[in-house]
Amino acid sequence: MRYQSTHRDKSREVNLPVQEPTTLLPFLLAHVKGKSRNNIKSLLSRKLVTVDGKPTSQFDTPLTPGQVVTILSVPAPRQDALPFPLLYEDAHLIVVNKPAKLLSVANEKEKQRTAYHMVTDYVKNQHIDNRIYVIHRLDRDTSGVLMFAKDPETKALFQDNWNQIVTRRGYLAVVEGRPKREADTIHSYLIETSTHMIFSGDPGPGAKEAITNYQVRKSGGGYTLLDISIDTGRKNQIRVHMKEMGCPIAGDKQYGARTNPIGRLCLHANELSLTHPATGKPMTFQAKMPRDFNRMFR
């Protein structure tokens, strides 16, 4: 299954994986917050509920583990509740397309204007007791696919089994110049200084292994667009590896860029593939390349 950054004007889908044998009505009452029995029956009568993609109006439809119940029409949240695209949401996960220049989570200087805070507000608009949990992060200046857990059990599954659950983390980067090789793998050990700069060094105490794969997509005007995937998720990993390759990411003054053609770091997390921890189904979430990236090659 692939999910891209598209908005629905009047409705959105909510996907609810089934984890134990039950029937449809009690399942919906347990998982859809703020809806009465009559509300649920109204959704069923309008055939706005599907089981594994098949519409049903029967409240006593039997459910078995591994099936997915989808509500096809739920009132959309207020536009100001989530000011960036929602890629996917179910009972366990919520995935968004984070814009550049927005922190994933709070730091010492910024507590409120973060993706975590905004997505928390969004889920609490659905039900006051709802929460989200941090699974991974994107740098402030990196845009793209960002995922949160909606329950502590899902968070723990990702923390304990990240490499088994997540099968691909893909990025697009516009770099200055052109790499000597059309495709390559960069393997180093990253060390962070007391001033929070990161560089590659010898393996040893405090050094973290980092592996970055890249493929040239196109070049022009002094820039190159790269498809990138990472086997490790170290802080500033891609930025450091591009600098040390001699092709810093455009807009990345901290790591050696001389130009800033579109007023932002030209790094975008365009793809996240995983095996859903509740259903076992393979899923891919995609966020389209920012238009400004393409304009650099016209």
In a domain, 41, yes or no: yes
Question: Chain-centre distance of CA 111, in angstroms?
Answer: 21
CB-count exposure of residue 143 (10 Å: 0-12, 13-18, 19+): buried
Which residue, of 56, 76, 96, is where some domain finishes?
Answer: 76
In a domain, 104, yes or no: no
In a domain, 21, yes or no: yes
Which residue, of 76, 96, 116, is where some domain finishes?
Answer: 76
Task: Taking the CA atoms of 93, 164, 160 and 146 in sequence, report the sign of the dihedral they define.
Answer: negative
Domain containing 236 — which CATH number? 3.30.2350.10
In a domain, 212, yes or no: yes
Structural domains counted in the chain: 2
Nearest alpha carbon to residue 228 among 144, 142, 168, 150: 168
* pTM for the full predicted model: 0.74
What is the domain extent for residue 40?
Answer: 9-76
215, β-bridge pairs: 183, 227
In a domain, 96, yes or no: no
Query: What is the separation, in whole angstroms, between the first and last Cα of the chain?
Result: 33
In a domain, 98, yes or no: no
In a domain, 137, yes or no: no
Which residue, of 76, 103, 128, is where some domain finishes?
Answer: 76
Domain containing 14 — which CATH number? 3.10.290.10
CB-count exposure of residue 120 (10 Å: 0-12, 13-18, 19+): middle
Per-residue pLDDT, 111: 62
Per-residue pLDDT, 8: 39
- Give the pLDDT confidence of 187-220 residue by residue, as tens digits: 999 999 988 899 998 888 889 999 999 999 999 9
In a domain, 122, yes or no: no
The Cα–Cα gap between 133 and 127 comes to 16
Give, for all 298 residues of the chain, the pLDDT tens digit. Answer: 665 644 433 345 788 999 999 999 999 988 886 677 877 887 888 788 999 989 899 999 999 999 999 987 555 444 446 889 999 999 999 999 999 999 999 876 766 689 999 999 899 888 888 899 999 999 999 999 999 999 999 999 999 999 999 999 999 999 999 999 999 999 999 999 988 899 998 888 889 999 999 999 999 999 999 999 999 999 999 999 999 999 999 999 999 999 999 999 999 999 999 999 999 999 999 999 999 998 888 7
